Amino acid sequence: MKKIIVADDEARIRRLVCDFLKKDGYEPLEADDGDVALELFKENPDVALLILDIMMPNMDGWTLCREIRKFSDVPVILLTARSQEFDELMGFEMGADDYVTKPFSPAVLMKRVGLLIKRAKHEDGSSSNVKVLGSLTIKEDAHEVLVDNVSIPLALKEYNILLKLVSKPGRVFTREQLLDDIWGYDYVGDMRTVDSHVARLRTKLGEWGNKHLKTVYGTGYKIEVN
């Protein structure tokens, strides 16, 4: 039974989400603020996904997501009562995988939970290949990226974007293609989400990223190799 952390300071929302998770065969772990959720996650490293409210006491959902991304690429869904574009963009900047605005349909939330867990499982064990492009090495079986033999911590979306781009060096992938392939066809969000993730990925890859991860203005991105 897969564990899922539900962090929300509203007890009514927590109970609602936890009830639906239990019906779908998951084991929900409850937290009423960000600090408790972080400790809960550290105590349960086998957690498959986190559902985090943005506006929580002690540590908000944005900060909690950023802290988790320092050592884990576990899928994260952010919940918020606000529908401002800034909230959504900030969530993805912090490394969130999905974003749901209250009030929400529990059935739709469960669908998104299932898709993220399925996608993460597929990505973790779908291949034992090792890709090498100059000083860049991608160990797909270990879900690890190295530049000059130094491990580079990437969030799940950043890793998936890199894997997509290096699958066909020289080919331009449009923002629409990356959004559909990485976020899924049912994702409803701004195209700038792709840009912010690619920018962060390029920065993390350092000199290799600046040299090889190219922007094709007005279109998308590609990996350029000699």
The string of pLDDT tens digits covering residues 101-144 is: 888 899 989 999 998 888 776 555 444 467 888 889 998 877 88
**Whole-angstrom distance, CA of residue 81 vs CA of residue 4:** 21
Q: What is the pLDDT of residues 132-188, one digit of tens each?
A: 888 899 988 778 899 998 999 998 899 999 999 998 889 999 999 998 888 875 565
Q: How many residues does the chain have?
A: 226
CA angle 179, 124, 31 (to 5 degrees): 80
Average pLDDT score over residue span 178-205: 83
Q: At residue 83, does pLDDT exceed 70?
A: no
**Whole-angstrom distance, CA of residue 45 vs CA of residue 164:** 27
**Whole-angstrom distance, CA of residue 203 vs CA of residue 1:** 37
Average pLDDT score over residue span 213-217: 95
Helix boundaries (H) for the chain? 11-23, 34-43, 61-69, 85-93, 106-125, 156-166, 175-178, 192-212
Q: What was the pLDDT predicted at 73? A: 82
Q: At residue 89, does pLDDT exceed 70?
A: no
**Whole-angstrom distance, CA of residue 74 vs CA of residue 58:** 22
**Whole-angstrom distance, CA of residue 173 vs CA of residue 73:** 23
Q: What is the pLDDT of residues 10-49, one digit of tens each?
A: 999 999 999 999 999 999 999 999 999 999 998 988 899 9
User: What are the distances in angstroms from CA 190 to CA 69, 157, 180?
Assistant: 22, 15, 12
Confidence band for 87, pLDDT divided at 50, 70 and 90: low
Model confidence, pTM? 0.56
Q: What was the pLDDT predicted at 127? A: 41
Any residues with CB less than 8 A from the CB of 112 and at least 6 apart, and which? 77, 98, 100, 186
Average pLDDT score over residue span 215-224: 93
**Whole-angstrom distance, CA of residue 67 vs CA of residue 72:** 9
Q: 188 by DSSP, 3-state: which?
A: coil
**Whole-angstrom distance, CA of residue 120 vs CA of residue 155:** 12
Closest CA to 205 of 138, 141, 140, 142: 138
Average pLDDT score over residue span 203-212: 95
